[in-house]
Structure 1
Amino acid sequence: MRTRSGGERATLAALAIAAAGLFLLPLGRLFWTGLSRGPGPVAEALASPATRRALWNSLDSAAVSATGALILGTVLAFVIGLTNLRAKGVFVFLLLLPMMIPPHVTAISWIQALGPSSPVLGWLGLAPPIGAAHPLYSREGVILLLTIQHTPLVFLVVLAALRGLPREVSEAARIAGAGPVRLLRRVLLPLLAPSLVAAYALAFVSSLGNFGIPALLGIPGRFITLPVLIWRRLAGYGPSVLADVAVLSMLLAVVAILAVALQSWLQRVMRAGLIGPPQPALRIDLGRARPLWEGALALFIATVLALPLASLVATALVPTYGVPLTFETMTFAHFAEVLFRQSAPSRAFVNSTLIAGAAALILAALAAVVTYFGGRQWRLARTTGSSVATLAEVSYAIPGLVISVAFILVYIRPLPGTGLSLYNTLALILLAYLTAYFAIGLKPVAAAAGQLDPALDDAARVSGAGFGRRMRRIHLPLVAPAAASGAILVFLTAYNEVTVSALLWSRGNETIGTTIFNYEDGGYTTLAAAMSTVTVAATVVLMALLDRFGRRLPPGVVPWRI
């Protein structure tokens, strides 16, 4: 039996402790609080008409919007991945941009784009009459925006799956006389079935836990989902209802975990063995129809991206919401207000940058350690690594609002023996980010580590290299591009989020997402539009810079580059 160095054992023990603190402790406390009083509170919650209605609304909106996102995202992935469309890099960048825009900003922009006071529709003479009900304040409005928000997730998953298919399969079908429709129906869709199931499950779970869109559209439309009900109960009554909120959060967590379990079972049933390495996907010549497809794709992007963002900017430039935008009414006062005069937005930008950046760096390091141990022959190391990866997957499936409740339950009192309290601090939001987004940082690194030959580490060990030297000289350099990719995704996801921090923020510890949401919820629509515009601009600039620098970086560092 090979001896293990003290550093290797200490690192493995530290990883196990960190996983227990991030996953087992908060989620265990959540379920213990929900079940400690027996089955009575659970039965009472299920018997409540408000809870049953909110649970049904959550399942309904998640299932229908995930179906729409699956259809739309798959079509876009096929058009981009299987044809000779031009400017694919630009199209991919623009199609993925809605995924990086916070859901509550998406909701605000669409509210302003389609409402009676819409500046853009007003210019076109298409605005609804003043006093008319907003078309998005309804079940259908929630489902529509959830579909738009999560279509890029499906697109990304299916596009990656298309790149992983051996090209010989498609070429053999084409040689046998199969046209594009028959190729799609008889070859590609069956082979992609596990990836389509994964994409649907990802969209379903993301919609199930979405807070920003159902809160801003569902509350006025009396379409309350379970995350919104949890937020309203805790925000309205405070910590005194933590036990009841824990029961609701537990129900939401159970639904999410069951959805992931069903996904795993379906993927095992549908998996088909493929022989041959991944190759560039088949390119179908669109011929004379290529300009039409490109025009249709450009029109789609303009509808789902340009229209709401133009309305968002126009709303930020008028003195009061509802005033038509002209050269005489145009003002930059709201931008000056959120950037220079009010302290909360400035603190929010600094706070979000710090904790999102810290979460990205920490999770990149943890992902490298987890994948190292997960690929070892040492049974204890392999079991620990795979267990941490499983916990990360389960935690990602659990809605962010549930994770927030779990951390509140653990840290609402000072740490035993220290008197130190993490409640209402940025540290608590950071810990919640680590739990909620661990899987995002881990997936690219796990995929890269799975391609490494374990003999590299064994040869270095035989040569006398210690654990630290093997990590620095072999494992970390080989997984660094994937770790950087995961870190970028974590940062962009955490930078603008509102679901996790909605219950954890406090005065002085605001985040970008909570500040924008509070502006809109408080009726300060123009200020919300101004800060949302700045946030979207910062996100676009960051993605553009990463895309530009990605040309000089190893493949895979920038996730959306093709």
Structure 2
Amino acid sequence: MRLTKYLRSGEGMTLAAVTFLALALFVFPLGLLARVGLTGEEGLSLAPLGEALASRSVLRALGHSLVTATLSACLSLVAGTAIALVMGLTDIRWKGAFTFLLLIPMMIPPHVTAIAWIQAMGPSSPILRSLGMAPELGSTHPLYSPGGMIFLLGVQHTPLVFLVVLAALRTLPREMSDAARIAGARPVRLLLRILLPLLAPILIAAWALAFVSALGNFGIQALLGIPARYITLPVLIWQRLASFGPSVLTDVAVIAALLALVAVLVILAQMALLVRSRATLIGPPQPPLHLALGAARPWAEGALAGLVAATLVLPMTALVATALVRTYGLPLNAETITLDNFIEILFRQSVTARAFLNSTLTAAAAAGIIAIGCVFLARFMCSRRRPVRRTAVSLATLAEMTYAIPGLVISIAFILAFIKPLPVLGVSLYNTLGIIFLAYLCAFFSIALKPVSAAYVQLDPALDEAARIAGGRYMFRMRRIFLPLIAPAAASGAILVFLTAYNEVTVSALLWSTGNETIGTTIYNYEDGGYTTLAAAMSSVTVLATILLMVLLDQLGRRAPPGVVPWRI
């Protein structure tokens, strides 16, 4: 009786709606994928996966994926942690500027990063040819190799590790570090004996996050792996589905299930390691250490400036230089420079404007819906009713696991779920922006949930109790009490979702169709079709748009509450 009364209330109906949407977005598509990949003629079975692994091409691609994801995640962990320690614990200057510049590569689409590095380091590089430093024409590109792929994946995900570790440094109590310093511990000993052991759970989580991100990265693996004949599982999925069409959807779904299984196993192993390595901390979070570098400070600042130049300025300069020459391979000089490529993609190619419009609308809609959903779900995660709290936590865990699943796997799952017309409505979402929008909701929900749930934990439960006693109904309490307090965290999550979805290519690579192109797929199609200068021009415009958007948000963040803009220190 009490359950029925609760379900009829505004809070109960909202919980039912959130649960239904989560099941429709997370469970239904991925459940269909699991049924295909883990179901044989006699029911639940690993036979389909066994048959897939019996294929030499699948087994080889799986090995390539594991090697590149593991080694690139290690590279990202070492580099990202080192940068975070310098930024978070020392007295270097211009921390805000360095943080902003170091995070830009993470916001640039991976395939754009790959194109930029290919054009910066290859024999046809306009910059290197203008300086007389280009490799000999006809020689193998240095990035077309497993090592090149590992390097570029490591560079792409270093900012991700940097953000995670930097946030953790700000929450560590200082008692143990202060005691060690009073006892005469030098910075190196303090780092090895105190800080790194305390950060061990965070480092494990950061490595796992970099691993699953690299595992499902499509753009870098396709643009570097295909010329090097080093095929990974995401590229193999794309090649098979793009070459043979929906008739091989079942076989591709089995490979996608294998890729998802690897990601889930890594996350489960990470959770087990976290339990064993967790250290109990006493005391509230305090401002992080502020170690004086002394004479070494200019060297540290110079090293960070060099890192920004190497990972951002050099590839982006090469990208723009390629966009400014008439034909790829020419040196950049007064005779070869031209704006024809920019004029072509901005004014002559209708697909460009359509792609920017499609990506903007889809990413903005997904960011808004996800932010609203997170506000309600995170509230249920803090509910006093145990069944409600458990239900919400289960949905949040499901969203976390979904985020760990590569984007191409989610694409396959949504193709399986929506290739047929919807029941009752008779409308098909396949080959429309609608299916890309729904896939974004599934893939990026967890990104916005983290800051919102963290904000709810900090609220005093007495606020809700006082409003209840005063007769405030559920939606009134949400609208007048919780939403104003949670809005900064929700805005932060929405910003991260928008910037992630705006330039992505992994999720939409298999879902786009003519008329429904996104920015990522259009750039990739230009490069894949041999229109390198046009791909460089559109990539340059995309990078400029991304940076301008980040600058605008950074300026707005000066007047917004703390936490709205994620990268502001």
The normalised TM-score by structure 2 is: 0.97
After superposition, give the CA deviation of every residue in 1:72-102 in whole Å (9 maximum; x if it has no partner). Answer: 0000001111110000000000111110000
Find the partner of 1:215 among 205, 210, 222.
222
User: Structure 2 counterpart of 1:22, which letter?
Assistant: L
1:516 is aligned to 2:523: yes
- 8 Å CA contact 1:62–1:205 kept in 2: the answer is yes
CA-CA distance at 1:113 after TM superposition: 0.3
1:42 is aligned to 2:70: no
CA-CA distance at 1:120 after TM superposition: 1.5
1:16 is aligned to 2:23: no
What is the CA–CA distance in structure 2 between the aligned matches of 1:172 and 1:337, rounded to whole Å?
64
CA-CA distance at 1:121 after TM superposition: 1.4
What is the CA–CA distance in structure 2 between the aligned matches of 1:519 and 1:180, rounded to whole Å?
50
1:483 is aligned to 2:490: yes
Alignment partner, residue 468 of structure 1: 475
Find the partner of 1:169 among 167, 171, 176.
176
- How do 1:369-518 residues align onto structure 2 when only pairs under 5 Å count? 369-518=376-525
After superposition, give the CA deviation of every residue in 1:41-83 in whole Å (9 maximum; x if it has no partner). Answer: 3222111110000001000000000000000000000111111
Identity in percent: 66
- How do 1:117-516 residues align onto structure 2 when only pairs under 5 Å count? 117-516=124-523
The structure 1 segments of at least 4 consecutive aligned residues displaced by more than 6 Å after TM superposition are none
User: Structure 1 counterpart of 2:445, which letter?
Assistant: F
User: Structure 1 counterpart of 2:162, which letter?
Assistant: F
- How do 1:540-555 residues align onto structure 2 when only pairs under 5 Å count? 540-555=547-562
1:25 is aligned to 2:32: no
What is the CA–CA distance in structure 2 between the aligned matches of 1:240 and 1:421, rounded to whole Å?
18
What is the CA–CA distance in structure 2 between the aligned matches of 1:106 and 1:126, rounded to whole Å?
21
Find the partner of 1:98 among 105, 114, 138.
105
After superposition, give the CA deviation of every residue in 1:284-326 in whole Å (9 maximum; x if it has no partner). Answer: 1111111111111101110111110000000000011011111
- 8 Å CA contact 1:375–1:454 kept in 2: the answer is no
User: Structure 2 counterpart of 1:461, which letter?
Assistant: R
Alignment partner, residue 536 of structure 2: 529
- How many residue pairs get aligned? The number is 562
Alignment partner, residue 116 of structure 1: 123
User: Structure 2 counterpart of 1:225, which letter?
Assistant: T
What is the CA–CA distance in structure 1 between the aligned matches of 2:380 and 2:155, rounded to whole Å?
38
User: Structure 1 counterpart of 2:38, which letter?
Assistant: L
- 8 Å CA contact 1:371–1:445 kept in 2: the answer is yes
- 8 Å CA contact 2:504–2:520 kept in 1: the answer is yes
CA-CA distance at 1:474 after TM superposition: 1.4
What is the CA–CA distance in structure 2 between the aligned matches of 1:353 and 1:169, rounded to whole Å?
47
Find the partner of 2:9 among 1, 6, 23.
6
Q: Secondary structure at the match of 2:40?
A: coil
CA-CA distance at 1:379 after TM superposition: 2.5
What is the CA–CA distance in structure 1 between the aligned matches of 2:121 and 2:68, rounded to whole Å?
20
User: Structure 2 counterpart of 1:174, which letter?
Assistant: R
User: Structure 2 counterpart of 1:300, which letter?
Assistant: L
What is the CA–CA distance in structure 2 between the aligned matches of 1:543 and 1:511, rounded to whole Å?
20
User: Structure 1 counterpart of 2:29, which letter?
Assistant: P
- 8 Å CA contact 2:77–2:207 kept in 1: the answer is yes
What is the CA–CA distance in structure 1 between the aligned matches of 2:480 and 2:283, rounded to whole Å?
31
Deviates most, 391-400 or 454-463: 454-463
Deviates most, 121-130 or 515-524: 121-130
- How do 1:49-128 residues align onto structure 2 when only pairs under 5 Å count? 49-128=56-135
What is the CA–CA distance in structure 1 between the aligned matches of 2:402 and 2:514, rounded to whole Å?
28
User: Structure 2 counterpart of 1:293, which letter?
Assistant: A
Q: Secondary structure at the match of 2:498?
A: helix
Consecutive unaligned residues of structure 1, counting only runs of 5 or more, are none
User: Structure 2 counterpart of 1:32, which letter?
Assistant: R
After superposition, give the CA deviation of every residue in 1:247-269 in whole Å (9 maximum; x if it has no partner). Answer: 10000001100111111111111
CA-CA distance at 1:485 after TM superposition: 0.4
Q: Secondary structure at the match of 1:552?
A: coil
After superposition, give the CA deviation of every residue in 1:366-412 in whole Å (9 maximum; x if it has no partner). Answer: 00000111111123321221111001100000000000000000100
CA-CA distance at 1:551 after TM superposition: 0.9
- 8 Å CA contact 2:127–2:332 kept in 1: the answer is no
After superposition, give the CA deviation of every residue in 1:462-516 in whole Å (9 maximum; x if it has no partner). Answer: 2100011000111111111110000000000000000000000000000000000
- 8 Å CA contact 2:448–2:497 kept in 1: the answer is yes
User: Structure 2 counterpart of 1:27, which letter?
Assistant: L
CA RMSD in angstroms, aligned pairs only: 1.1
Deviates most, 102-111 or 411-420: 411-420
What is the CA–CA distance in structure 1 between the aligned matches of 2:554 and 2:209, rounded to whole Å?
25
Q: Secondary structure at the match of 1:220?
A: helix
- 8 Å CA contact 1:120–1:307 kept in 2: the answer is no
The normalised TM-score by structure 1 is: 0.99
CA-CA distance at 1:40 after TM superposition: 3.8
User: Structure 1 counterpart of 2:544, which letter?
Assistant: A
User: Structure 2 counterpart of 1:59, which letter?
Assistant: L
Q: Secondary structure at the match of 1:331?
A: coil
What is the CA–CA distance in structure 2 between the aligned matches of 1:303 and 1:16, rounded to whole Å?
46
CA-CA distance at 1:170 after TM superposition: 1.5
CA-CA distance at 1:521 after TM superposition: 0.4
CA-CA distance at 1:167 after TM superposition: 2.1
User: Structure 1 counterpart of 2:120, which letter?
Assistant: A
What is the CA–CA distance in structure 2 between the aligned matches of 1:79 and 1:16, rounded to whole Å?
43
What is the CA–CA distance in structure 2 between the aligned matches of 1:369 and 1:40, rounded to whole Å?
41
CA-CA distance at 1:8 after TM superposition: 1.2
CA-CA distance at 1:168 after TM superposition: 2.4
User: Structure 1 counterpart of 2:260, which letter?
Assistant: A
CA-CA distance at 1:560 after TM superposition: 0.3
User: Structure 1 counterpart of 2:31, which letter?
Assistant: G
What is the CA–CA distance in structure 1 between the aligned matches of 2:423 and 2:310, rounded to whole Å?
54
What is the CA–CA distance in structure 1 between the aligned matches of 2:465 and 2:131, rounded to whole Å?
68
Consecutive unaligned residues of structure 2, counting only runs of 5 or more, are none
User: Structure 1 counterpart of 2:447, which letter?
Assistant: I
User: Structure 2 counterpart of 1:395, which letter?
Assistant: T
CA-CA distance at 1:135 after TM superposition: 0.5
